[in-house]
Structure 1
Amino acid sequence: MKRLWQPAYMSLVFAFLYLPIIVLVVFSFNHTTYSGLWHGFTWTWYKELFQDTDLQTIAYHSLLISTFASTVAVCIGALGAVAVFKYRFIGRQGLHALIMAMIIVPDLIIGIALLLLYHFFDLTLGFFSLLIAHITFCLPFVFVVVYGRIITLDKNLFEAARDLGAEDITIFKKIMLPLLMPAIVAAWFLSFTMSFDDVVISFFVSGPSYQILPLYIFSQVKLGVTPEINALCSMILLITCIAALAGQWFLRKKP
């Protein structure tokens, strides 16, 4: 009896998780403006996406923010993970705990806190406010991924290199960085995925002059879900899946 229930239970779980996504993708090919009924297959909505110049600009904004935020977050987070692992300084444990705590802080709190901070410093909401916000919430995840790889490395490698006369910078460039590169690349893809999909924090810090795809979709669905929105969501889903799979592949690579 147990053998029968387990497959049925797992099927229900996967259906609950993925059936809405499958319906979204299928109806992005629906040959009608009304999404409730199937009226035939078409590529029309995807063609309209690539012909919409305003939407292309918004997509460029999203890609630009995600790319810059991921790159800066990886540089800062990776170096921070190395520093926390290698050096002993006052407040080291507190800094580690603070970074870990940022992961569990709700996005709503982070968004409001950043908005108040921007108002305090009189920073105009736009590209830079959005970029700083995305770097901020990506940093802890980069730190966790890279630090998780560092603590698995054999410390004898560093000691042997130091005994042979290698300086700290040489050890970092020649030994530690190559060993950490799979985790660093995986952290970049993870950060890109999170930045590209973010809605809550971006809603508070983007401003009216700089729009990105998640906020555009959020504003459009208030008027109703159309096949064009389904097609746009399917494209975003494809991009994030590719980034997530690439990140997992690099993370599984042995140093």
Structure 2
Amino acid sequence: MRRLSWFNTVSLTLGFAFLYIPMLILIVYSFNGGKLVTVWAGFSTKWYGELFRNEAFLDAALNTLKVAVLSSTFATVLGTMAAYTMVRGGRFAGRTLFSGMIYAPLVMPEVITGLSLLLLFIAIGLDRSITTIVLAHTTFSMCYVSVVVSSRLVTFDRSLEEAALDLGATPFHAFRLVTLPIIAPAVISGWLLAFTLSLDDLVIASFTAGPSATTLPIKIFSAVRLGVSPEINALSTILISIVAVGVITTSLMSKRAIAQRQRDEQEAN
């Protein structure tokens, strides 16, 4: 096994320290009993209780989940359709324009995207609400789904579809019964990516959200501008814990699946 050099070891240590020490400090001070986040006043969990009694944060979190689920679902459907058209559609009139419109949000500044969507909603008379946030998040996240799914479709063995068609399946049934199950990991990955992007978005949501529809990132940003409160630390700690549990669970499931596949291959041999 190749050993890490001292330069690589120091670089990794400094990199991980830069990333995770602020998170550790935040987690520690989320259990601070005092109101000042930089002065330790004893261990306490009262700010977690205050957080769960804060209806503004709870409503914002519920709105964020609604937007993330709806927008990621719509983006996955539209992005998969766009990817299938790009990969399987061959050459057609407007293909270059179509692909450019799909991939434009990848390089477009979020400020421009949010402002253009705001002007569109004003022009058509659509009041800013949960609906406008969902439409905005669907617009910018479907391109990410399209990239993920199209990369899988490029390497897809089309002979499987052709075999299904030769056996009497219609193109729709061949896609539903053959293509979709094979590309399902890419579709799920695209949905998760769109879900994560929606949860994390602040700029576009700030343009398209209305007074009665506030997402959690907007609420946190507004609260931090007035000073970091212990409730923000508690909320951030909960979010970090959820992400950590999700990453660890996914890693364990992946290792278990690989181990099971290796056992199956050994039994087959």
Give yes or no for TM over 0.5.
Answer: yes
Question: 2:161 matched to which residue of 1?
Answer: 158
Question: 1:120 matched to which residue of 2?
Answer: 123
Question: 1:5 matched to which residue of 2?
Answer: 7
Q: Is the 8 A contact 1:34 1:226 kept in 2?
A: yes
SS of equivalent to 2:169: coil
Kindly indicate whether residue 50 of structure 2 is the aligned counterpart of residue 43 of structure 1: no
SS of equivalent to 2:5: helix
* Separation in 1, partners of 2:127, 2:254: 37
Q: Is the 8 A contact 1:114 1:133 kept in 2?
A: yes
The structure-2 alpha-carbon separation of the partners of 1:137 and 1:69, relative to structure 1 and needing over 3 Å to count, comes to: same
Instruction: Select the residue among 227, 236, 241 that pairs with 1:224.
Output: 227
Larger Rg: 2
The structure-2 alpha-carbon separation of the partners of 1:101 and 1:238, relative to structure 1 and needing over 3 Å to count, comes to: farther
SS of equivalent to 1:171: helix
Offset of residue 247 of structure 1: 8.2
Deviations 1:93-120, CA, capped at 9 Å, x for gaps: 4322332231111111111111111121
Kindly indicate whether residue 33 of structure 2 is the aligned counterpart of residue 26 of structure 1: no
Offset of residue 248 of structure 1: 8.6
* Separation in 2, partners of 1:150, 1:244: 27
Question: 2:206 matched to which residue of 1?
Answer: 203
Amino acid at match of 1:108: V
* Separation in 2, partners of 1:179, 1:41: 51
Amino acid at match of 2:42: G
Residues 51-200 of structure 1 mapped to structure 2, 5 A cutoff: 51-88=53-90, 89-200=92-203
* Separation in 1, partners of 2:68, 2:248: 17
How much is the aligned-residue C-alpha RMSD, in angstroms? 2.5
Question: Structure 1 residues 207-216 or 91-100, which shifts more?
Answer: 91-100
SS of equivalent to 1:166: coil
* Separation in 2, partners of 1:249, 1:197: 25
Provide the identity percentage: 37
The structure-2 alpha-carbon separation of the partners of 1:65 and 1:246, relative to structure 1 and needing over 3 Å to count, comes to: farther
SS of equivalent to 1:194: helix
Offset of residue 144 of structure 1: 1.0
Q: Is the 8 A contact 1:49 1:55 kept in 2?
A: yes
Offset of residue 214 of structure 1: 0.7
Question: Which sections of structure 2, spanning at least 5 residues, go unmatched?
Answer: 259-269
Normalising by structure 1, we get a TM-score of: 0.90
Normalising by structure 2, we get a TM-score of: 0.85
The structure-2 alpha-carbon separation of the partners of 1:197 and 1:177, relative to structure 1 and needing over 3 Å to count, comes to: same
Offset of residue 223 of structure 1: 1.4
* Separation in 1, partners of 2:29, 2:199: 23
* Separation in 1, partners of 2:190, 2:145: 5
Amino acid at match of 1:40: G
Q: Is the 8 A contact 1:185 1:247 kept in 2?
A: no
Deviations 1:73-93, CA, capped at 9 Å, x for gaps: 111111221122211222224
Question: Which sections of structure 1, spanning at least 5 residues, go unmatched?
Answer: none
Deviations 1:126-173, CA, capped at 9 Å, x for gaps: 121111111111111111111111112112212222233322111101
The structure-2 alpha-carbon separation of the partners of 1:231 and 1:240, relative to structure 1 and needing over 3 Å to count, comes to: same
